[in-house]
Structure 1
Amino acid sequence: MIKLRTLIIDDEPLALKLLGSKLKNIPEIEIVAQCNNGREAIAATIEFEPDLIFLDIQMPGIDGFGVIKKLQTEILPLVIFTTAFEQYALDAFDVHAVDYILKPIDDEHIQRAVSRAIQRFETGETRENKPKIIGAINEINLRERRADAHENNQTDKPTSLDNIERKIVIKDRDNITILKQSEIEWIDAAGDYVCIHTDAETHIKRSTLKNLLQDLDPSIFKRVHRSTIVNLNYIQKVIPHTKGEFFLKLGEYDQVKVSRNYRDVIKSFLSES
């Protein structure tokens, strides 16, 4: 029998306790930790490397969406969101094949979500799940911006193209976003997509990591994992890990694993600093 090592996150103690008690009755679930906020969730995911997380979307500080964006593809488990969002927003999750449970949580919806998670785990659908989740998040954010613009009778101003600094172009349907490379903190890949992380947002671009690397400034962007590129300018701390691996602390919450095959890149960076 499959046993999914599971992490549950909710800032409401009663909701956390209720979800934990329900999951303990499901034999395929093994709860490895419980967290009260986004910061704890990121740290626990890195430490325990669970197969599945139940993640509350609406939390103060780093919300559920923020947790997903800050987790490297290689350590991102399967995700089941718990949420009180209105149905119009949840359509985005259906489109992008992301599991969610509406609050108040009931046994039937938990069992449905767990069954889907088991099916995806058995078929190996884990590492390529991140672009789908980010896509759902961006779709929700886009709908909210459109609703606000309609309410205020305003439209977004076009992005300025005056700066001649090296840039990355991201096309999403009819929208084109132009990112300065100096604003990109790190990039991780899943299948034919890459997740480009800046301080303000995570963008999805259809590209392989290898092809994108050719467009990046080689003096500041280095590959540290088969699925991860970092901007050296954002490294704040190098944290030793097991078996000769490292974690790079890139911001207040972002940590990226450096595999053994790429550790010489970091050693070289440290010797030059």
Structure 2
Amino acid sequence: MSMPPHEKMRVLIADDEAPARQRLTELLREDPDVGEIQQASDGAMALRMILERRPDLLLLDVQMPELTGMELIAALGPERLPLTIFVTAYDQHAINAFQANALDYLLKPFSDERMQAAMARARLRLADRQLREFGENVMRMLGSGQHQAQQPAQAARPDRLIVKSARATQLVRIADIDWIESAGVHVILHVGGKEVLHRMSLSELAAQLDPLRYVRVHRSVIVNIDSIAQLEPLSHGEFDVVMTDGARRRVSRTYRAALEQRLGHSL
């Protein structure tokens, strides 16, 4: 379903190569959900345009004059960063891009179909954001308080993941996931002793999970509280979390406090 005309995506292309900007512009013009298309030829120009025009989607190259793609993200911060798809010839930056909550990472040269798949993800994410903001605005107008204002975001949280592979499309119930580990631009879902590979960054998936049930114990691991069998102390105050499927993962000191808070008990 296409978005209403007044909600069409406003897109900014940030790339120092004119042919690359031209190709992206041509592909975007074929998308009925895309409205305004702007271009920036360097990182500093892109920063100014984002702050002034607040695009919905940023198509971002990594290597640019003035500011690189990663420097641009750092300068903006998470609050002002639009939905971002990296479009670059450098594959070595993929992990950093997804750690910065990039929506997708297109490696040049890419096919039209790959671009269309990335834009489909952008449409879904933008629609979810608009729905959440609309619900929050309605609740604020009704004067229902902070707790109710958070309900639309909770209601929008999916209960299943659509996992596609060359053989089939699986529907994985999120509540059945015991734990999750990062695998580059993918995550590995551990479900009832089985492993399911899903193309999504760990940070992106974490945003869709119930924080009362799922907690991050390491920068590359999220666990289901209900699937923890035990916590085993190690030396120097470190702990291993042992899952019901027998898996053992270290609790990082960075995330130990979050686990303690969720358990309501110090380790």
Return the TM-score normalized by structure 2. Answer: 0.44
More relative contact order, 1 or 2 (CA 8 Å, 6+ apart) = 1
Return the TM-score normalized by structure 1. Answer: 0.43
